[in-house]
């Protein structure tokens, strides 16, 4: 960690600390995260809150389904005649988690050309037809066969048993991120693309039920929409819905002027058959976003890569909207979740990893489903408008390892790099050490970067040493 870059940060921050009378033992933190100073409570940073509730804490405790939703799901499954439900649930869960994105035609063509060259090098050039058969056979054997899922009434029930609780936990964590950081935000309208069983509606009602007055659920499957409506009505086709103001439709609203405060696509983009389709849908969803666009996928490399493509598309969409015939809203956008808008360091590493979150939840109480589980998911939250001045704190990207008198944190930093930080009270200060020790995977670590220093501190940082 003792690099030339780290030494430069250590020198500049050391000057600032000497000018403001900060203890020398904190200087080592400059090597912890590039350009970071220590955290203390001299400026009433924590207020009256204990360290275990510092402002970077964003993890939810173990999430539980609303009682009305859990009872409705149990009623529907008990009333169904589906055999071997437990095995079907496990099979669908494994299939959805291991699913890859469909191979694009350009990639398939590239593979075919490489196979043709390899076969022609060791074969008789006269047997052209046989070579074509060999190429097709090799492509079938080595190419992932993506298939679109058609949700019938039976498969919709299996999906509900497999994914209702985990999906609710992931979406609840995403909404909590917005609510915790912007408590004044009170959305009135929400659209859920690929709404499935309606877990987004229930999570949104649990988070902003006092302000939301309209929920638009869009799903191409009529069976899924019928199931979601039954869940809202306690497991039957009649009765009053538990959440008022919910509307169901199979297609997106046509009018380009119709917008929603929050737009969500949870585990839906991976159901689209091509990158072109995903691009069209993401652009449409962004046009319909008034404030926040929330995208969630499985916490796999495929899911994370898909979300990064969507993120890059939206962050650059202002250039397309300048040419659009429908520019009634601001074209500025920013990343709300990550501390930077640079390429994801997890994907550009020598061994790429999925940037993901983990949320504990209590599953629907079936005989095979009693212990708490963890939902691992990738998440992108994009906001409309220019970003307000805020702390760009590093985000913890893996479980925090707590050891005697030191803590290991893996951080995604504002400069777009990953950092493995080993934090101790002696080297980095009691407040930062205690904040790190009570933090969890997905939280923000409250450290200060040079961009956040006051102007007087910036001047002192640039002044030559005496």
Q: What DSSP designation does 26 have?
A: G
Beta strand extents in 105-259 (DSSP E only): 189-193, 214-218, 246-249
What pLDDT sits at residue 82?
A: 82
Q: What are 54's two structure tokens?
A: 């510092």
33-57 pLDDT per residue, tens: 444 444 544 555 677 788 888 888 9
User: Cα 231 vs. chain centroid, distance in angstroms?
Assistant: 26
What pLDDT sits at residue 27?
A: 35
Nearest to 423 by CA among 411, 412, 438, 437: 437
What's the rounded Cα separation, in Å, for the pair 321 and 326?
8
CATH of the domain at 189: 3.40.50.150
Based on the domain organization, do 221 and 119 belong to the same domain? no
Based on the domain organization, do 227 and 315 belong to the same domain? yes
Q: In sequence order, what are the residues at sequence separation of 6 or more whose Cβ sits closer than 8 angstroms to the Cβ of residue 345?
A: 412, 416, 417, 418
What pLDDT sits at residue 17?
A: 36
Based on the domain organization, do 379 and 278 belong to the same domain? yes
Number of domains in the chain: 3
What is the mean pLDDT for each group of 10 consecutive residues in the chain (466 residues)? 37 34 35 45 65 88 96 91 89 94 88 81 64 80 87 95 97 96 96 97 97 97 96 88 95 87 97 94 94 96 94 76 48 81 87 92 87 96 76 88 93 89 87 91 79 48 42
166-224 pLDDT per residue, tens: 999 999 999 999 999 999 999 999 999 999 999 999 999 999 999 999 999 999 999 99
295 bridge partner residues: 265, 380
Based on the domain organization, do 262 and 221 belong to the same domain? yes
Nearest to 432 by CA among 44, 29, 14, 48: 29
Residue 255 lies in a domain: yes
Based on the domain organization, do 316 and 297 belong to the same domain? yes
Based on the domain organization, do 195 and 336 belong to the same domain? yes
- Give the residue numbers spanning the domain of 235: 64-87+148-384
Based on the domain organization, do 284 and 412 belong to the same domain? no
What pLDDT sits at residue 20?
A: 34
What's the rounded Cα separation, in Å, for the pair 384 and 185?
13
């Amino acid at each position: 960690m003792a690099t030339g870059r780290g030494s430069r940060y250590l020198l500049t921050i050391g000057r600032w600390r000497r000018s403001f009378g900060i203890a020398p033992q904190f200087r080592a933190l400059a090597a912890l995260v590039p350009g970071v100073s220590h955290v203390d409570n001299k400026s009433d940073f924590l207020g009256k809150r204990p360290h275990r509730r510092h402002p970077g804490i964003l993890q939810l405790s173990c999430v539980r389904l609303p009682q009305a939703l859990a009872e409705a799901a149990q009623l529907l499954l008990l009333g169904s005649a589906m055999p071997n439900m437990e095995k079907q649930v496990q099979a669908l869960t494994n299939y959805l988690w291991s699913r890859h994105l469909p191979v694009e035609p350009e990639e398939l063509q590239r593979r075919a050309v490489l196979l043709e060259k390899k076969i022609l090098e060791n074969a008789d050039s006269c047997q052209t037809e046989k070579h074509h058969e060999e190429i097709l056979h090799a492509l079938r054997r080595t190419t992932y066969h993506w298939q679109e899922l058609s949700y019938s009434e039976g498969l919709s029930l299996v999906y509900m048993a497999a994914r209702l609780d985990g999906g609710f936990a992931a979406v609840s964590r995403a909404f909590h991120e917005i609510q915790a950081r912007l408590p004044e935000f009170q959305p009135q309208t929400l659209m859920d693309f690929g709404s499935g069983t309606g877990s987004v509606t229930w999570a949104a009602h649990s988070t902003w039920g006092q302000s939301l007055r309209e929920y638009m659920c869009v799903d191409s499957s009529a069976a899924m929409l019928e199931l979601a409506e039954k869940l809202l009505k306690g497991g039957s086709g009649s009765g009053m819905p538990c959440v008022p103001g919910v509307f169901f439709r199979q297609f997106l609203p046509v009018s380009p002027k119709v917008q929603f405060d929050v737009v969500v696509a949870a585990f839906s983009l991976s159901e689209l058959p091509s990158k072109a389709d995903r691009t069209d849908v993401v652009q449409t969803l962004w046009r319909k976003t008034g404030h926040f666009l929330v995208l969630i996928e499985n916490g796999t490399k495929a899911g994370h890569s898909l979300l990064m493509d969507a993120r890059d598309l939206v962050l650059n969409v202002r250039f397309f909207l300048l040419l659009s015939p429908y520019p009634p809203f601001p074209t500025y956008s920013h990343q709300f979740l990550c501390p930077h808008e640079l390429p994801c360091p997890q994907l550009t590493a020598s061994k790429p990893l999925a940037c993901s979150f983990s949320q504990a939840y209590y599953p629907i109480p079936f005989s095979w489903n009693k212990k708490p589980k963890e939902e691992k998911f990738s998440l992108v939250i994009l906001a409309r408008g220019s970003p307000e001045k805020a702390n760009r704190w590093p985000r913890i990207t893996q479980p925090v390892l707590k050891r005697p008198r030191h803590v290991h944190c893996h951080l995604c930093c504002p400069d777009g790099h990953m950092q493995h930080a080993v934090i101790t009270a002696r080297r980095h200060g009691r407040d930062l050490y205690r904040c790190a020790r009570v933090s969890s995977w997905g939280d923000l670590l409250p450290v200060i970067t040079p961009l956040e220093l006051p102007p007087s501190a910036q001047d002192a940082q640039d002044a030559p040493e005496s």
